[in-house]
Structure 1
Amino acid sequence: MREKTRPRRAGAAAAWSATGGLVERPGMIPGAPEIWVYADKFSYFAGDTVSVRVHTTADEYDIEVVRDGARPQSIVKYIGLPGKQQSTPDDAYATGCDWSESVAFTVAPNWASGMLRKPEGAARNIHTDMPGIGWVPRHPPCEWAWVNGYSRHHADAFWATYERPFTVWAEEQAFLVHHITQHDLHEDPSALRGYSCAVVVGHDEYWSWEMRDRLDAFVEGGGGLARFGGNFLWQVRIEGDAQICYKNPFDDPIREVDPTRVTTAWDSPEIDRPGAWTMGLTAMAGVYNRYGATAPRSSGGFTVYRPDHWALNGTDLYYGDNFGIAPVCIAAFAMDGADYTFRKGLPYATGVDGAPEDLEIIAMAPAVSGSRDNWNGTAPIGAPLAEVSGIFESAYGRELPEHLREFEYGSGMVATHQRGLGTVFNAGTTEWVSGLIHRDPFTERITANVLNLFAAQLSSFTEEPD
């Protein structure tokens, strides 16, 4: 069995300053206690050495590596390690911290995968209440980060927010879950060999060309892709240890060399590989719901349009029913959709954005491309509408294709399509796991239906030739 394990790696100990600003790097508040931790690689095989780098103001500290999941297990523990403060370069985001090693250990053959955790009850990137008249938008995850000393990004990325709740639920349901990182998918053509179901969870906004190649080949060979995530948007390049994404294609030096590898939105005509070719849906047709001032009083759930679809077997859901609604809010934060039209009460993809001809739209939820500022800059609105307009212009120029000219309103979708011998199920939302966390029976049954079907299928996917 091919298995990688990931010990605790990202330092989550940002602090809240007296001036009201979030601390996203060490040393921004002189004299404040802090500890930051990272490992030298994204993932490790059995027998690899894990090099842990630590910066802390403490005289000594402890490290415990835990195999996370439904029943967390302590793997290795170090007590009373000597503390050391390490300098962080200004361009650490691009070049790394280059801290010296604090402790190292070897991955044993019997260790299973695990990741970083955070406290239960941490706020998610949604608001679960029903705002009244005169409401002013707030951002609960930022407020939680301020109070608890975490990076503001704790709620829009990372294992603890997305993959961990899914893994805990899946293991409780007796599914056997193995883990790889997207970097593993990028580097290893055989990363999915031997499996029949690949699962993507959460906020998978950035993908490389190679990552998509691996996934497309897997599905075409008969594999099932179960995507319980949202915001499939940007192409990136992996160069050494760095992930490159200029977003504006005119800033990317590779544009004159190979436009297909330019780091901009997948739907850009320069790349000529629309996101919907792989996922069935795209972030260019969403995106936001119940995030700041985006659709703040929506149901927070999905409306059913194709109740007879196999993914809804046993749910007892009818046409027009809603599921995963507030306060659970599974249709929230960032969502993906497709350009669509209605015929006799049923939604159909138009295909103008690259959506497959056989795309079956099972359920939908309203989404907007960004927030209008109705408070003249006096309130935090999250994703401003002008920001999305800039994304579209960077990808297409000022002459947008017709289906994007009125881009403010869209829809998040739950959908399926076939690709070669395989099947793609796309939940189209970053917050699908909220339904598993809160044990929403409809979300749980749909998830189980997808996993059971895909796990029972056979895949002919094999390693690509050298």
Structure 2
Amino acid sequence: MAIDPMSEGPGPAISPRTRARARHILDYYYIGPARDDRVLEIWGYSDRMTYAPGDSVALHVSTTAETWELEIGRDGVAYEPLYRAKGLTGRHHPTPADCSVVGCGWPVEHRLTIPSDWRPGGYLVTFRARRGDDAVEEHHLILVRRAPDLPAAPYLLVCATATWVAYNCWGGSNAYEGIAGPEGNAFSPILSLNRPWTRGFCKLPEGAPRALPDHPPRPGEMVRYPYMEWAYAYGYSKKYASAGWASYERLFARWAEASGYPVDFATLHDLHSDPGLIDRHRCLIFVGHDEYWSAEMRDRVDRYVEAGGKVARFAGNFLWQVRIEAEGRRQVCYKYAATRHDPLMGTPEAHRVTGAWEAAPVNRPGCQTFGANALRGIYAGLGNCAGRGAGYTVYRPDHWAFAGTWLGYGDTLGRESRVFGYEVDGLDLAFRDGLPFATGADGADPAIEVLAMGLAANVEADHGTWGETRYIGGEDAVFRSLSLTGMDTAETRASAARGNGVMIHWQRGKGAVFNAATCEWVAGLARGDLQVDRTTRNVLDRFGGTQD
């Protein structure tokens, strides 16, 4: 979510010039077309994100090499190369300066048909080019769903593609920074899907740091953000740790496949465009950083759950409403500038303004769909934002979700595997007899069961460490204060600086929702945390079967 790329730090120990350079390094690293034939490069994107067997895939590719190669493989427990093409003619196409907003406009350079034996999953598309001793490789991703004439899997993993689009900085702009946008070009409210994914969204080397450091900082140490340092050193987008297949959905897909759970695949954009997509499945699964949704996406999940569907949400930061336009190839979100710049303000469609779900004029708290609110939570384990936590405290250990976990009241879940963060969703809570309850003051159903929780912060703590420059400033707390109270006073800002993250179970209509309300749950699965693993299996076994 971060608004302010950097706080002002503890004082005069850092010069303004040094601080400005650090701000540039941390917040912006250009990845995109060189627009120079002398630079060896290859980039590509597809006409869609999801395909079924028999569908035609159109690849739009631009390269400065005379020839290029293509490889496509299923990115499962083991990578399976399934398609190769070599000696393809290379063409270097002009790219608009504002390609992140209007798209690249490259022609189709290669087509293939999805074979009937390709299994559901994520498929890594590798583009390779060479010039003499120089070689370059870039990546794209497509999803393959089960053929429509085959029985559906009980589980549907819905990839957080609206968040992928929002964080995709390829070509110069995304929803956080760049070359186009209101108020100083801080971000672009309009983003095109007709462009490549930024480096790190589709494939990452082993050992690439996650958003949360592997271990909390020791007292007295300067706060650090290893993923940003790594991205800058190796030429990846720093947003790789915030969104994309490689950091989130891939980890869950590999775990589910290894664990024997039959899973079909779709995107949020599929959910937006196909009202009946989810009805064939018993359980919808959302994982990772899942921040941006359209009203249509929400409407369909709401109806699905009320009619008896189950939702297993191992994801966090359900914050922004978006609009999907141009037949699904353009995404709009004015975010913090929505009330000043979104053209729907002041119209009968003002409820579709692309701001925070909890704020006016949208006024549709996220807890009414998933049982938790983004603006009641936010940062945990990131830098000095509740940086020495990263686990849940268990309050209702007798709940079926914790069966076989050896967890008791007051025990901590997932601290060692760092699952709680980097952004979490929370609730307005009251404690009675040592147990947390949803008050309903934030729009939540008081029947929601809070199983576990942790604390979050919206201002990064200043411990007075010399030379330290912190990433999260005070602007998030200001925005939350204004959104929830309509005021920005010392008292409301102090309240807005504090948050929580909850794990909930909610019997809703004929269906049910389990929400871990954290981005980093998949880290526990990837790191073999037995208690996180057992909790995940408990939820999937119950929701994917015939139990209520």
Give 1:9's aligned residue.
Answer: none
- Of 436-445 and 368-377, more deviation after overlay is shown by 368-377
Q: What is the identity, as a one-letter code, of the residue corresponding to 2:330?
A: A
Comparing 364-373 and 374-383, the one that deviates more: 374-383
Residue 245 of structure 1 corresponds to 333
CA drift of 1:373 comes to 5.9
CA 1:324–1:234 in structure 2 vs 1: closer, same or farther (change >3 Å)?
A: same
TM-score w.r.t. length of structure 2: 0.75
What amino acid does structure 2 have at the position aligned with 1:87? P
Q: Give the SS at the match of 2:281.
A: coil
**Cα distance change, pair 337–29 in 1 and its aligned pair in 2 (3 A):** farther
**What one-letter code is carried by the residue in structure 2 that aligns with 1:193?**
D
Measured after TM superposition, the shift of residue 19 of structure 1 is 13
Which residue in 2 is equivalent to 1:443? Answer: 532
* Deviation for aligned residue 1:391: 5.3
The reply on whether 1:281 has 2:372 as its aligned counterpart is: yes
- Matched residue of 1:185: which SS? helix
Question: How far off its partner does 1:61 sit?
Answer: 2.7
Q: Which residue of 1 aligns with 2:60?
A: 53
Contact 1:301–1:365, Cα closer than 8 Å, also in 2: yes
Match of 1:428 among 517, 526, 543: 517
Q: Would you say the 8 A contact 1:304–1:362 is kept in 2? A: yes
Letter in 1 for 2:73: V
- Structure 2 equivalent of residue 5 of structure 1: none
Q: In the aligned structure 1, how far is the partner of 2:288 from the partner of 2:121?
A: 18
Q: Deviations over 1:375-425 (max 9, x none)?
A: 79964533322134235536764379x988711111111111111101100
2:497 matched to which residue of 1?
408
Report whether the alignment pairs 1:306 with 2:313.
Answer: no
For 1:20 and 1:278, locate their aligned partners in 2 and report how far apart those are by CA, in whole Å: 32
Q: Deviations over 1:351-394 (max 9, x none)?
A: 11111111111111111123256679964533322134235536
Shift, 1:162, TM fit: 0.6
Q: 1:325: which partner in 2?
A: 415
Task: State the partner residue of 2:165.
Answer: none
Q: Does 1:211 align with 2:301?
A: no
1:129 corresponds in structure 2 to 215
**Contact 1:225 1:424 (8 Å CA) reproduced:** yes
The answer to whether structure 1 residue 227 and structure 2 residue 303 are counterparts is no
**Unpaired runs of 5+ in structure 2?**
1-23, 125-202
1:254 to 344, 360, 384: 344
Of the candidates 377, 383, 394, which is equivalent to residue 292 of structure 1? 383
Greater fraction strand: 2
Structure 2 CA distance for partners of 1:391 and 1:95, relative to 1, 3 Å: farther
Report the AA paired with residue 301 of structure 1: G
Partner residue of 2:405?
315
Call closer, same or farther: CA 1:292–1:399 in 2, change over 3 Å.
Answer: closer
Alignment of 1:133-148 (within 5 A): 133-148=219-234
Partner of 1:25: 32
What is the match of residue 79 of structure 1?
Answer: 86
Does the Cα contact within 8 Å between 2:485 and 2:492 map onto a contact in 1? no
Matched, 1:93 2:183: no
Equivalent residues in 2 for 1:256-271, closer than 5 Å? 256-257=346-347, 258-271=349-362
* Deviation of 1:170 (Å): 0.7
Select 1:43's aligned residue among 42, 50, 59.
50
1:142-189 CA-to-partner distances (Å, cap 9, x unmatched) read 222223322111111011111111011011110001110000000111
Q: Which amino acid aligns with 1:106?
A: T
Following TM superposition, by how much is the alpha carbon of 1:236 offset from its aligned partner in structure 2, in angstroms? 0.5
3-state DSSP class of the match of 1:168? Answer: helix
1:365 corresponds in structure 2 to 454
CA shift at 1:332, angstroms? Answer: 1.9
- TM-score for both structures, normalised by structure 1: 0.88
- Rounded to whole Å, the distance in 1 between the matches of 2:35 and 2:476 is 28
Change (3 A) 1:182 1:21: closer
CA spacing shift, 1:19–1:394, aligned 2, 3 Å: closer
Give the secondary-structure state (helix, strand or coil) at the position aligned to 2:456.
strand
The CA distance in 1 between the partners of 2:205 and 2:226, in whole Å, is 15
Counterparts of 1:394 and 1:92, CA distance in 2: 32
Spell out, residue by residue over 1:249-300, the C-alpha distance to the aligned partner (whole angstroms, 9 max, x if none). 23111122211111000011322311100010011111111212212222x2
Identity within the alignment, %: 41
TM alignment of 1:101-120, pairs within 5 A? 101-111=108-118, 112-116=120-124, 117-120=203-206
Give the aligned residue type for 1:142.
Answer: M
Which range moves more in the overlay, 380-389 or 412-421?
A: 380-389
Residues 1:31 and 1:379: Cα distance change in structure 2 (over 3 Å): farther
1:34-71 deviation per Cα after TM superposition (whole angstroms, max 9, x unaligned): 33221122222333221112233434332111122123
Q: Secondary structure at the match of 2:277?
A: coil
Quick one: which amino acid aligns to residue 94 of structure 1? V
- Partners of 1:86 and 1:429 lie apart in 2 by 41
